[in-house]
């Protein structure tokens, strides 16, 4: 029997989430013999449900929610011997993975466009013992993301993040790091480090224009400079998209590396797909073509 699991975060999508859930279940029943629907109630539920799907040999697992729920699902799937096919119906604020997979951000369109034959290999990032599918960030950007209240996300969408970044820029702080990228060691001072897997980071779909979901590489970006002016100078490069180092940006593709904080002013944590992750130091690597995911060909 070909079974699918649909994991719904009922706090996403506001009052329409139940309608989306019914639509998705009906759509999936056209491709699967049986569809089991589960609701998350607390942090970590999606991890446990995905592990259950692996152990019970579900053909596919679908997540209906935002980037945080997607990240939990990836962490539930990544270490298992058997990994079901993975799908996303976006209900979140940014929905970076959906963007990278060309899935409509309109939930109804995303459901209607689902094609059980449209599968693509998906790279997964590993940072210490955690996994990510979009981005790992250190410095001003993750601090800004952590400062955003859930009600502001609901009211303002991704602009809540931009406003928080602007506020934090007024108290800009840089940090010294030792980084090792594919065996090459260097020291840098920066306010922000990003490690991206896909072209879309924080809703910017062209930040890493050359990045593919299955190219077997991570994208390292650090903003050069030690003050607010230097950081502001990097903005045009970021908006154009980064595929090489510039006067304002340090960029490279890599497969395996580590990041260590050299100054002890404050203990920095890594933000993983929008949620707080491990504190430095960290080891990071890519797991090439680790999961098969549904995408939209349209």
Q: What is the mean pLDDT of each run of 10 residues along the chain (298 residues)?
A: 95 79 97 97 96 98 95 97 97 90 96 97 97 90 51 51 55 86 94 91 80 95 73 63 79 96 82 90 98 93
pLDDT at 169: 57
Report the distance separating Cα 47 and Cα 292, nearest Å.
Answer: 17
Report the distance separating Cα 126 and Cα 118, nearest Å.
Answer: 25
The boundaries of every CATH 3.40.50.10330 domain in the chain are 3-117
The boundaries of every CATH 2.60.200.40 domain in the chain are 132-289
pLDDT at 146: 46
Catalytic residue, from 121, 147, 152, 275: name it: 275
CATH entry, 3-117, from 3.40.50.720, 3.40.50.10330, 3.20.20.70, 3.40.50.300: 3.40.50.10330
CATH class name, domain 132-289: mainly beta
pLDDT at 76: 98
List the one residue out of 291, 297, 298, 296 whose CA is nearest residue 70. Answer: 291
Q: Is there a catalytic annotation at residue 275?
A: yes
The encoded tokens of residue 132 equal 């990510």
3-state secondary structure of 84: coil
Enter the pTM of the model.
Answer: 0.87
For residue 158, how many other CB atoms are within 10 A of its CB?
15
Report the distance separating Cα 280 and Cα 125, nearest Å.
Answer: 16
pLDDT at 163: 55
**Residue 97 burial class via C-beta count within 10 angstroms: exposed 0-12, middle 13-18, buried 19 and up:** buried
**Residue 278 burial class via C-beta count within 10 angstroms: exposed 0-12, middle 13-18, buried 19 and up:** middle
User: For the chain, how many residues are written?
Assistant: 298
Report the distance separating Cα 93 and Cα 150, nearest Å.
Answer: 10
């Amino acid at each position: 029997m070909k079974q699918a699991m649909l994991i719904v975060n009922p706090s996403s999508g506001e009052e329409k989430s139940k309608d989306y859930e019914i639509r998705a279940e009906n759509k999936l029943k056209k491709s699967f013999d049986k569809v089991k629907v589960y609701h998350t109630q607390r942090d970590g539920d999606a991890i446990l449900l995905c592990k259950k799907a692996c152990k019970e040999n579900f053909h596919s697992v679908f997540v209906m929610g935002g980037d945080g729920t997607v990240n939990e699902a990836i962490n539930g799937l990544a270490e298992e011997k058997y990994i079901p096919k993975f799908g996303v119906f976006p209900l979140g604020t940014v929905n970076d993975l959906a963007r990278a997979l060309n899935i409509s951000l309109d939930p109804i369109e995303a459901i209607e466009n689902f094609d059980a034959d449209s599968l693509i290999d998906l790279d997964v990032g590993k940072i210490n013992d955690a996994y990510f599918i979009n981005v790992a960030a250190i410095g001003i950007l993750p601090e800004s993301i952590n400062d955003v209240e859930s009600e502001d996300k609901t009211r303002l969408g991704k602009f809540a993040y931009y406003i928080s970044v602007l506020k934090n820029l007024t108290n800009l702080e840089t940090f010294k790091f030792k980084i090792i990228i594919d065996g090459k060691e260097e020291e840098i001072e920066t306010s922000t480090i990003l490690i991206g897997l896909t072209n879309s980071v924080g809703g910017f779909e062209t930040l890493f224009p050359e990045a593919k979901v299955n190219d077997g590489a991570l994208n390292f970006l650090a903003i050069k400079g030690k003050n607010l002016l230097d950081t502001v100078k990097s903005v045009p490069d970021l908006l154009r998209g980064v595929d090489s180092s510039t006067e304002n940006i340090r960029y490279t593709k890599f497969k395996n590396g580590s990041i260590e904080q050299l100054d002890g002013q404050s203990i920095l944590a890594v933000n993983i797909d929008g949620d707080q992750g491990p504190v430095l130091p960290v080891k990071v690597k890519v797991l090439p073509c680790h999961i098969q995911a549904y995408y939209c060909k349209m």
